Structure 1
């Protein structure tokens, strides 16, 4: 079994200073935010800057406004639910989508940005730790609940057909990256056509990025 080293917390003192000048939206991102947040560009900007100022988990991707990037649709979060909302807007059945983050704070910030909630938003969001997904079937009974009744990732074992994971692997060392991959494999269905995809930092040579976040890229 792969050894797990959990993510080290980042203090607010280590966070990069926010810079509004980094706020630059591509045309597709602006079009999406106009459809989901507000038609007024100034209102969009202020809403995005407001949620960015939350420093509970000051990741570099928040500093760089990646939470409003349409990363999944560009694949050939720190997204705060942006990618899955774009997926639904593009026509994928929202009732078949589950979004998950370790930190409920990001889910709540996503609701603040898009002015919706789990009651209003047809996409179901949960906060859970992927390392709690068991690697065997001991003492676990997978219930095929409606997605809107899901509260843990373990309840999705064997049910996921398309699995996207973004900006996660590089937060952990190599052994823990293997542990993540093993748990993702538990979630996906065994039917033909299953896809696991994502977007992470990488390097031809495994190394650590020493920028206070200590990302491990391989």
Structure 2
């Protein structure tokens, strides 16, 4: 997979794209996807389902995609997407790869743009549309109802409550109706639903956070019909530089699995 440690010059270029605090903390070097409780279920999906398409949304450098493939997820079933291609291209530099040696399709676009991902209801019946060729995709719309696994980490907390709800709806529309299909990830959370007392370092805005209970309620009964998914959500306390001033910091670690 190549080195996971960028030199100083690479770090400067990376932060010039966007100064996400998690990048400054080298969070991408920790291969977060493999630390998630649902990871073993995810890998089993790749083994059991011949056409189990996996989407890493907000993929950044592609580090989690690379880890999943290294652990056995079929590369031909993997697609990555982000708002900008800069991070994905820098990922090739970080991991010493090229589009030829690591030919995972990358689709650039805004998940909130309906020309990129049409806003449709959650799918409960098999799609009548054929599974698209992943290498020919220019948007996510052809994947509606076809994806077996979506990974979304350090993503939801970038948006306010209304946008988090819309993002969840859009993710749900992509998911295959097959039992076992899943959406999973982690992001900033807290013990009660609402805004954190700390502002974002980059924008000065307050971060809206779900609690473990409000996150379960969101997916089971609002995004999906009640009882149609199994939701696991856990708050994990983490050490952060601002925790002494703002109180305990938590990651919301979660999975949503069709039943």
Please indicate the TM-score interval, normalised by the length of the shorter structure: 0.7 to 0.9
Are 1:172 and 1:216, in contact at CA under 8 Å, matched by a contact in 2? Answer: yes
Say if 1:183 and 1:78 are closer, same or farther in 2 by CA, change over 3 A. closer
Q: Shift of the alpha carbon at 1:191?
A: 1.1
Task: Select between 161-170 and 117-126 the one with higher mean Cα deviation.
Answer: 117-126
Q: Which residue of 1 aligns with 2:111?
A: 130
Q: Shift of the alpha carbon at 1:72?
A: 0.6
Q: Which residue of 2 aligns with 1:204?
A: 191
Give the gaps of 5 or more residues in structure 1. 1-35, 39-43
Q: Which has the higher contact order (CA 8 A, sep 6+)?
A: 1
5 Å matches for 1:9-28? none
Are 1:167 and 1:199, in contact at CA under 8 Å, matched by a contact in 2? Answer: yes
CA distance in 2, matches of 1:67, 1:119: 23
Give the gaps of 5 or more residues in structure 2. 38-57, 122-127, 211-259
CA distance in 1, matches of 2:181, 2:83: 24
Q: Shift of the alpha carbon at 1:187?
A: 0.7
Mapped pair 1:216 → 2:208: yes
Q: Aligned with 1:116: secondary structure?
A: coil
Q: Which residue of 2 aligns with 1:111?
A: 92
- What is the TM-score when the length of structure 2 is the normalising length? 0.62
Q: Which residue of 1 aligns with 2:153?
A: 166
Are 1:99 and 1:125, in contact at CA under 8 Å, matched by a contact in 2? Answer: yes
Q: Shift of the alpha carbon at 1:204?
A: 1.8
Are 2:59 and 2:81, in contact at CA under 8 Å, matched by a contact in 1? Answer: no
CA distance in 1, matches of 2:174, 2:8: 35
CA distance in 2, matches of 1:68, 1:49: 15
Q: Shift of the alpha carbon at 1:111?
A: 1.1
One of 128, 133, 138 as aligned partner of 1:146: 133
Instruction: Point out the structure with the larger helix share.
Output: 1
Q: Shift of the alpha carbon at 1:98?
A: 0.7
Q: Shift of the alpha carbon at 1:75?
A: 0.4
Instruction: Point out the structure with the larger strand share.
Output: 2
Are 1:85 and 1:123, in contact at CA under 8 Å, matched by a contact in 2? Answer: no
**RMSD between aligned residues:** 2.1
Are 1:156 and 1:187, in contact at CA under 8 Å, matched by a contact in 2? Answer: yes
